[in-house]
Structure 1
Amino acid sequence: MAKSEPKSSKPTKAEPKLLSGGNPRIAKGYGDAPVQAYIAAMPGWKREVGQRLDALIERAVPGVRKAVKWNSPLYGLEGEGWFLGIHCFTKYIKVAFFRGQSLDPVPPGESKSAYTRYLDIREDGQLDEAQFSAWVKQASHLPGERM
């Protein structure tokens, strides 16, 4: 009689659920770990773009503060609020600059909010990393959103 494999006492880590539109459902949390969990759960091509965005943000703003709230990674400065958020949709990633109307040049995507501007990144689109980094640096010097 063959011996059966012992059962692991460790619970299996469940894959994060994707919400409607393909946005990862990640528990609210502060720090790099929940943001990295969100990025790891981004579907398909979006994961690589998420990794690149995160690296560009860290390079542009050393010591950036991170969190996941409302199933979206947020980036900000300690005591200054949040200046940027990321959210996955079915066909694109939306980057929200919360004070984007004050950036030069202003990011292309309009918002219902008077201050917020968006950058939509699609699978077949190119990310202008220099422009994105310039926006991130500028945004980090503006008053952040308290959320």
Structure 2
Amino acid sequence: MITYKNKIAVDDYLQLRDAVKWKNVPREQAKKALKGSVYMIVAYDNDKVVGMARVVGDGTYMALIVDVMVHPDYQNMKIGSYIMNNVMNTLESSVTGDDIMMINLMSVPGKETFYEKFGLAARPNKTMGPGMCRWVNVK
């Protein structure tokens, strides 16, 4: 049975990144990154981490959803959908009064339609240019 928590051990995070074949991040950097999260949700199969997402940002106006990952052995089991619904509901419910929030996410190629199900718009489009990034010190 899959359960969900709002925490992850650094080693589990690094193992999940490795399972989905993402870039290696030094352990201390990963520890700092996780600590700097505004929010996170982590899927567990007993004690094994099988999926996650986290949010970074200023906690009020700008939110960036990052590290949306599901272990390859657990894909197509609706874990990613549960995680994204949870993240979106958490962010949307945090907006009160006249406040506004821009929720951002950088999709890997081919996954855009998955994220569109949660109200995210692929870029570029009529009102926004393409997303941009720059890697520093990547080996």
The TM-score, its normalising length taken from structure 2, stands at 0.34
Q: Which protein has the larger Cα radius of gyration, Structure 1 or Structure 2?
A: 1
